[in-house]
Amino acid sequence: MTNVTRLRVNEAARLDTDRLESLVLEYGEPGAERFLGRTLEDIAVRLNRVERSWRRKDMVRLCHGARELSGVAEMVGLTTLARAAENASSAAISGDLAAMASTMSRLSRIGEVSLISIWDQQDQSI
């Protein structure tokens, strides 16, 4: 009989709280809340588009979408998400499907954890 071990991967989102604080200073508290709300929605939509491109094996759209996602994530201090999106873009360019599968799985996990992290941070500090 073969034993199968299932590994659970726990990803931690890295959040640049200084960036969040600078948004509050730049836009004021209500403006920062509105900006973050719109940006989180944008991140969720972009992440969905990247995942859809992966399922369709559309590497051109995946690469473009992942780069855009990285830029938006950087704007609000989601550094781990930005890096994961850049890694997915690089893997798409390389054409290595094993690397693509791995980076896309990580991007999905980091995306979920990052959105939750920034929502929690928004509830606590803004």
Contact 85, 67 (CB under 8 A): yes
Q: Give the residues of the chain that fall short of pLDDT 50.
A: 126
Q: What is the predicted pLDDT for the residue at 122?
A: 57
Predicted structure pTM score: 0.84
Q: What is the predicted pLDDT for the residue at 115?
A: 86
Q: What is the predicted pLDDT for the residue at 118?
A: 72
Count of positions (residues) in the chain: 126
Residue (of 48, 53, 43, 38) closest to 15 by Cα position: 43
Q: What is the predicted pLDDT for the residue at 52?
A: 97
Q: Can you list the positions of beta strands (E) in the chain? A: none
Q: What is the predicted pLDDT for the residue at 20?
A: 84
Q: What is the predicted pLDDT for the residue at 10?
A: 67
